[in-house]
Structure 1
Amino acid sequence: MDDTDLGTLERHGDRAVLTFTRRFPHPPERVWRAVTRPEHQAVWFPQQIVGERRAGAPLRFVTSVDPDESFDGEMVAYEPPRVMEMTWGASRLRIELHPDGAGTRLVLTEEMDDVGAAARNGAGWHECLDRLVARVEGTEPLRWGRRWRQVHPGYVEAFGPDGARLGAPDGWDADLPDDPYAPRFPHHPDP
């Protein structure tokens, strides 16, 4: 694992802020499409995001692995092709795209209530972002859960015991089915 890809953790009492940075050799508009369009999100985001792409819109996050675990949120900011921010359950998730030379620098932050979930969520976002990179680059991502298991020990070590009180999400201790999220969008055109 390349430690430069590890997310960082800032603690503010019982709150935690995870931050991740990825660079793409593509313009922000291309990365934005991969970040925001449902047919591309199906490759990298852990749930289907149902709702309008506009500030103030109610959202529903639906997982095809267990639809009973769906939850609500709200689109807080939506400024193409720069910012998408939403409440995601009890967390706040923000994705920013910045021009970076001829490419794009993506910054993802999750502000969360439970510092103890930091290593679990850090490994989860790490996997999601690796899948986003694969999507933008047109390569095949690893099966869901595999990358999480590879990087989770690094997050446990980096964030310490109080940042690692929660283990793998249900079912992520083994490879998930071929791709439990793909059936929503069987054809994934390039972003």
Structure 2
Amino acid sequence: MDRDAFRPSPPAEVRADPTDDGVTLVFVRDLPRPPDAVWTALTDPDQLDEWAPFTADRDLGTPGPAVLALFDGEGTAAQPATVRRAEHPHLLEYTWGTDLLRWELSPLGGGTRLTLRHTVTDPDVLPMVAAGWHLCLDVADLLLAGDPVGPIRGSTALDFGWSRLRDAYADRLGVG
């Protein structure tokens, strides 16, 4: 796909679950790829570099420390991470700075139901987080289909419908 022709998919199913440490965005997305392929996209540094909001200093498919470098405009901010659980190809859980991300993969026909649980301390950021993951997962889906458009992250996301998605998720989540 031509990057200039990229348009985000409609908003996904989301909800906010309160936790002891903040609030968890629950973001569900069905992908027409098998769990093994989705797992590799979630763990392999080369694939993460093509779709995620960060780069990883190592494969995330095994427990232990890692560094995830977030992109914003021209700069990056390295943040410590710890892979807490890596159960191929069904469950990946890691910290990212103060956040906790849990990726659950369930077979769905020939594809995968992906459930992301992203726990943050400030509920007001949920629409922004949802919009960012939405764009990233659209890009990941194209990458897995063999039609990569390159990463859309940081301030570049503003050119690809991030603001509209943020507003739609704010409405869905009742935030802001």
Normalising TM by the smaller chain, what interval? 0.7 to 0.9
- Matched residue of 1:26: which SS? coil
Q: State whether structure 2 residue 56 is matched by structure 1 residue 49.
A: yes
Q: State the alpha-carbon separation in 1 of the partners of residues 10 and 86 from structure 2.
A: 31
- Matched residue of 1:75: which SS? strand
Question: Deviations 1:99-155 (Å, cap 9, x if unpaired)?
Answer: 112221111110111111111111111111111111112234484402322311101
Alpha carbons 1:87, 1:93 under 8 Å: kept:
yes
Alignment of 1:1-191 (within 5 A): 2-3=10-11, 5-12=12-19, 15-51=22-58, 53=60, 54-55=62-63, 57-63=64-70, 65-67=74-76, 69-141=77-149, 143-144=152-153, 145=157, 146-160=160-174, 163-164=175-176
Under a length normalisation based on structure 2, what TM-score does the superposition of the two structures give? 0.80
Equivalent residue number for residue 184 of structure 1: none
Q: Which runs of 4+ in 1 moved over 4 A?
A: none
Alpha carbons 2:14, 2:172 under 8 Å: kept:
no
Alpha carbons 1:75, 1:85 under 8 Å: kept:
yes
Alpha carbons 1:120, 1:152 under 8 Å: kept:
yes
Q: State the alpha-carbon separation in 2 of the partners of residues 7 and 105 from structure 1.
A: 13
Question: Deviations 1:54-75 (Å, cap 9, x if unpaired)?
Answer: 22x11111135423x2111111
Q: Output the amino acid matched with 1:66.
A: G
Under a length normalisation based on structure 1, what TM-score does the superposition of the two structures give? 0.74
Structure 2 gaps, min length 5:
1-8
Q: Output the amino acid matched with 1:46.
A: P
Number of residue equivalences:
159
Alpha carbons 2:70, 2:79 under 8 Å: kept:
no
Query: How far 1:13 moved relative to its partner?
Result: 6.7
Q: State the alpha-carbon separation in 1 of the partners of residues 128 and 113 from structure 2.
A: 24
- Matched residue of 1:116: which SS? helix
- Matched residue of 2:161: which SS? helix
Percent identical among aligned pairs is: 28
Query: How far 1:25 moved relative to its partner?
Result: 2.4
The structure richer in strand per residue is: 2
Distance 1:85 1:12, change over 3 A: closer
RMSD value, Cα:
2.1
Q: Output the amino acid matched with 1:155.
A: Y
Query: How far 1:23 moved relative to its partner?
Result: 1.6
Q: State the alpha-carbon separation in 2 of the partners of residues 75 and 137 from structure 1.
A: 27
